[in-house]
Structure 1
Amino acid sequence: MKTIILTLLFILAAPLVSAEYSRTYIESHPLQTVAVNGIDMAYRVVGEDPDRPKVVIIMGLGGSNVVWGDTLVKGLVEGGYELLMFDNRDVGGSTRFDDWGQPTIWLQLIKQKLGLPVNAPYTLSDMAADTVALMDRLGYQDAHIIGTSMGGMIAQVVAAEYPQHTRSLISIMSSTGARHLPWPTQRAEGNLRDLAEGDAAAERDAMMRARGFYPESMPRQLMAVFKSGDRSEDVASIQASTLVMHGVDDTLVPPPHGVHTAELIQGSEFVLLEEMGHNMPENVLPELISRMRGHMDKVEGKQAKAARADESVKVTQAPS
């Protein structure tokens, strides 16, 4: 049971934890705070330009906005996009839920397995609503929604529940939460157990905090994932143009999770990336960025063509 709990705690936080990404470029853009959806949300806008298409990126379990790293953020901005990045509720500069306390994870895990209600201070739908409320506040009519790991789950919820705000969806090393999907491998569980004991635990905690993660928030966000359960039906309703990417070496959220996501979303593209686990390695970032930009560029091209066609119809139908 202890191994399972540790695995679940780290399963959605693992991306980028051990990577030494620069965040100087990110932090050169001011962190601002605004009240939306009943909470305060901390955010940055990078590459701000009213004429640029908008992109919203959503980080995973316990991670603040700086976890994305300069390389990925620069890569998207250099592609001609305005980027909105923020701290999910309960991390970084956004409203924290420390007063709610910490869940008894093993008990909530049993409840989840039995199909009983899980205690959680908020849900993935709440976090998706935060995202959309922030977009509305900043005047984003719609945007390309990108999420990684738990952030990918939130992005899926945005695309399913707020299709009018979703220009396209990019889901990275994420999951639908379907019960039939495989658990982490024994090797991954063993690695996590080693990292959660003795000196390794203290080193892991310090490394996570330095990287921009908030370990004390992870159990509460994990409860949001538990409470949301299997989202397959909602994911299958997504109509936005979708790119699903997963690492071939992901032992925490194995590739079948990504495959299932892509299978449910009609017309989606699935990409399995070599040399990538449940992280975004520096050597894989160029391909990740290229595929993200290619997907969004394609959607932008289709949107522009549709707009031109619509304008042509209006001109043709105009009274003489």
Structure 2
Amino acid sequence: MKVRANGVAIEVEDSGAGGTPVLLIMGMGMQLDAWPQAFVAALLGAGHRVVRFDNRDVGLSQRFDALGVPNLLWEGMKLRMGLAVRTPYTLSDMAADALGVLDALDIRQAHVVGVSMGGMIAQRVALAAPDRVLSLTSMMSSSGARHLPGPKPRVLQVLLARPKDWSEPSVVGHYLRLFQTIGSPGYPTDADELRQRIRQSLRRGGYHPGGNLRQVAAVAADTARARELHRIRVPTLVVHGTDDPLVPLACGEDTARHIPGARFVAIPGMGHDLPPGGVERVLDALLPHLGLGSPG
């Protein structure tokens, strides 16, 4: 269903009404259906109300093509020189979207769980509206500190590549190479299963590279977040795979260091995905954590 959140048309899926709400925030360029069904089912089975949504510029939510596409090469050079990055919108804007989703559903407080860029947005939600956040979980994400390592060279090569054309086979092949490159060596996912998931996602929300680039710019521009994380006082869990080639382990460790009292959990063999087997390890840490926050 569509809701109006922060003035933006956002596609939302709301399941298990009646339990304590868990707001799931997905990563860059990924739709709400990227949350594994086993993950969502486990939360519902634990009695939670699960709210998922497409971030702006992704899937069935409002697109921002009128704002143009940032020149990432130029903005990246500015970032390395310590200059401000120009971005069509910010992670704080995206956090306001997330809070707008809660408003639209008349949810006063929720556990907030974000993965990758979604973890960064979740951190921004906790900073902007701590009274709305029962607990924070930041998975395979980062504090945004400048000194942290970036993607491995082989990952950058795949990230910078583009499909030969916009046909479904070409785009599916592009994403298959990407997901296999950043995936979990300890929990490999079958290639046919990955292809099927990619096709379903494309048929649901299409291929929208301009939105991805605007989100990349929003992440790059959010350089002050690390200096603000000390203000977070809600129960916080930071989860990271030891074999993440896109957002290295040090990024998760740094996030936990910046948030007072945060619990850090490293999952051996997990990369930058939520694969079968790895999901269960995440849930082993997450489900008890969700019991720490109680509605005020």
TM range (shorter): 0.7 to 0.9
Could you tell me which of 285, 289, 293 is aligned with 1:295? 289
Q: Does 1:76 align with 2:43?
A: yes
Look up the match of 1:204: 174
User: Which SS does the other structure have where 2:292 is aligned?
Assistant: helix
> Distance between the aligned counterparts of 1:226 and 1:275, measured in 2?
27
Shift of 1:248: 0.5
User: Which SS does the other structure have where 2:293 is aligned?
Assistant: helix
User: Which SS does the other structure have where 1:298 is aligned?
Assistant: coil
Look up the match of 2:136: 169
Rg larger in 1 or in 2?
A: 1
> Distance between the aligned counterparts of 2:223 and 2:266, measured in 1?
25
Look up the match of 2:124: 157
User: Which stretch shifts more, 34-43 or 184-193?
Assistant: 184-193
> Distance between the aligned counterparts of 1:197 and 1:299, measured in 2?
44
User: Which SS does the other structure have where 1:83 is aligned?
Assistant: strand
> Distance between the aligned counterparts of 1:123 and 1:190, measured in 2?
26
> Distance between the aligned counterparts of 1:268 and 1:163, measured in 2?
15
> Distance between the aligned counterparts of 2:156 and 2:245, measured in 1?
9
> Distance between the aligned counterparts of 1:198 and 1:57, measured in 2?
33
User: Which SS does the other structure have where 1:152 is aligned?
Assistant: helix
Look up the match of 2:210: 216
Asked if structure 1 preserves the Cα contact closer than 8 Å seen for 2:126 and 2:136, the reply is yes
Q: Does 1:98 align with 2:68?
A: no
Look up the match of 1:5: none
Change (3 A) 1:63 1:246: same
Look up the match of 1:23: none
Asked if structure 2 preserves the Cα contact closer than 8 Å seen for 1:176 and 1:230, the reply is no
Change (3 A) 1:44 1:198: closer
Look up the match of 2:15: 46
Shift of 1:211: 3.4
Look up the match of 2:190: none
Shift of 1:46: 0.8
Q: What residue identity is the alignment partner of 1:104?
A: N
> Distance between the aligned counterparts of 1:123 and 1:209, measured in 2?
29
Asked if structure 1 preserves the Cα contact closer than 8 Å seen for 2:95 and 2:122, the reply is yes
Q: What residue identity is the alignment partner of 1:82?
A: R
Asked if structure 1 preserves the Cα contact closer than 8 Å seen for 2:142 and 2:247, the reply is yes
TM-score by length of 2: 0.84
| Count of matched residue pairs | 268
Look up the match of 2:267: 273
| Alignment root-mean-square deviation, CA | 2.2
Shift of 1:192: 4.6
Look up the match of 2:250: 256
Shift of 1:94: 1.3
Look up the match of 1:178: 145
User: Which SS does the other structure have where 1:275 is aligned?
Assistant: coil
> Distance between the aligned counterparts of 1:261 and 1:42, measured in 2?
29
Q: What residue identity is the alignment partner of 2:114?
A: G
> Distance between the aligned counterparts of 1:76 and 1:276, measured in 2?
21
Query: 1:208-250 CA distances to partner (integer Å, 9 max, x unpaired)?
Result: 5643574331101111112212411221211010000000001
Look up the match of 1:87: 54
Asked if structure 1 preserves the Cα contact closer than 8 Å seen for 2:239 and 2:252, the reply is yes
Could you tell me which of 86, 95, 106 is aligned with 1:119? 86
> Distance between the aligned counterparts of 1:190 and 1:106, measured in 2?
14
Identity of aligned residues (%): 38
Shift of 1:115: 2.8
Gaps spanning 5+ residues in structure 1: where? 1-31, 308-320
Shift of 1:119: 2.5
> Distance between the aligned counterparts of 1:118 and 1:179, measured in 2?
13
User: Which stretch shifts more, 146-155 or 83-92?
Assistant: 83-92
TM-score by length of 1: 0.78
User: Which SS does the other structure have where 1:110 is aligned?
Assistant: helix
> Distance between the aligned counterparts of 2:5 and 2:117, measured in 1?
21
Q: Does 1:236 align with 2:244?
A: no
> Distance between the aligned counterparts of 1:39 and 1:198, measured in 2?
32
> Distance between the aligned counterparts of 2:122 and 2:5, measured in 1?
18
User: Which SS does the other structure have where 1:259 is aligned?
Assistant: helix
Asked if structure 1 preserves the Cα contact closer than 8 Å seen for 2:140 and 2:272, the reply is yes
Shift of 1:187: 4.1
User: Which SS does the other structure have where 1:75 is aligned?
Assistant: helix
Change (3 A) 1:190 1:227: closer
Shift of 1:100: 2.0
